[in-house]
Amino acid sequence: MQERQKRLAQLIEQLLQDGWTQTTLSEAISVDFTTVYRWLKGKNIPEADSKNFLRLAKVTGGDSASLQLYLDGEISLSKYCQGLEKQQVEGIKQHKILTSEQIKREVLAQIYLLDPADIAEVISTTVAFLIKRA
């Protein structure tokens, strides 16, 4: 995986840790869920002059220049994320709260889109999560 792809995946992982889901992030950026999934897995990265890049920068609290600096390794994730905190709190408040049943349906619908190897990774990650919670 290229360095820029790794950095983008780290940024998305940070967003997920901060309360976003891949679905809410994809909705905020106006892309398909699978686009965010490919970014997270390092399979794809938006072009710096694309609408997706500009929207990603806006959602993450930065601008295209600062996102470019982060992806190029010129600033750290923590430095880039300093602009995220306010944006994340406001963004999470704007997203609707889903019931458990809605979440299950949404997750299953997204799983059907994955390759078998990715489904296996989801299952193993879920098992590890459940073991930690037990």
> Domain limits of the chain?
3-95, 98-134
Q: What is the pLDDT of residue 89?
A: 43
User: In angstroms, rounded to a whole number, what is the distance separating the alpha carbons of residues 110 and 46?
Assistant: 21
Q: For residues 29 and 55, is the Cβ–Cβ distance under 8 A?
A: yes
DSSP category for residue 74: S
Q: For residues 70 and 11, is the Cβ–Cβ distance under 8 A?
A: yes
Q: What is the pLDDT of residue 88?
A: 46
* Tokens at 132, concatenated: 């930690």
Q: Which residues of the chain have pLDDT under 70?
A: 1, 83-98
pTM greater than 0.85? no
Q: What is the pLDDT of residue 8?
A: 94
Q: What is the pLDDT of residue 100?
A: 80
* Tokens at 96, concatenated: 């609707």
Domain 3-95 = CATH 1.20.120: no
* Tokens at 98, concatenated: 């889903």
Q: What is the pLDDT of residue 113?
A: 79
> Across the chain, how many H-helices and E-strands are there?
9, 0
N-terminal to C-terminal alpha carbon distance within the chain? 34
Q: What is the pLDDT of residue 1?
A: 53
Q: What is the pLDDT of residue 93?
A: 45
Would you put residue 74 in left (φ > 0), alpha (ψ -120 to 50) or beta?
alpha
Could you tell me the sign of the dihedral formed by the alpha carbons of 39, 92, 21, 34, in that order? negative
